[in-house]
Homo-oligomer: A and B are copies of this chain.
Amino acid sequence: MQSNHAEAIDRRLKSIEGHVRGVRRMVDDGAYCIDVVNQIVAIERALKKVGALVLDDHLHSCVADAMGSSDAEERERVVQELLQVYQAVGRG
């Protein structure tokens, strides 16, 4: 992974890790269920933003290289991966 966003990705993942820990504490303290569910949804959104940064790096490095190459098989491999990601993300 060649990365323009490496620092931002790590910073966000670290913050998500803390967020998850915070939700564990909420549950432990008997917080209201709906507040817990809303925090869980907030973490999912934060993860999607990290995913977008990783994909940004991917498109600017691996995909750009593969699509610019003359290797048709390699180009197809990269396209299939992007389609698989699209479907996985859509299913959530």
Task: Give the interface of A toward B (CB within 8 A).
Answer: 1, 3, 6, 9-10, 13-14, 16-17, 20-21, 23-24, 27-28, 30-34, 36-38, 40-41, 43-45, 47-48, 50-52, 54-64, 67-68, 75, 79, 81-92
Contacts and interface: CB of A to CB of B under 8 A. Distances in A.
The majority secondary structure among interface residues of chain A is helix
Given A48-B90, A58-B33, A85-B37, A20 B24 contact: no
29 contacts: A10-B28, A13-B27, A17-B17, A20-B20, A33-B55, A33-B61, A34-B85, A36-B54, A37-B51, A37-B54, A38-B85, A40-B47, A40-B51, A41-B51, A41-B92, A48-B87, A48-B91, A52-B83, A52-B86, A55-B86, A56-B79, A59-B83, A60-B79, A63-B79, A64-B67, A67-B67, A89-B90, A90-B92, A91-B92
Identify which of A38, A40, A81 gathers the most chain B CB atoms within 10 Å of its CB. A40
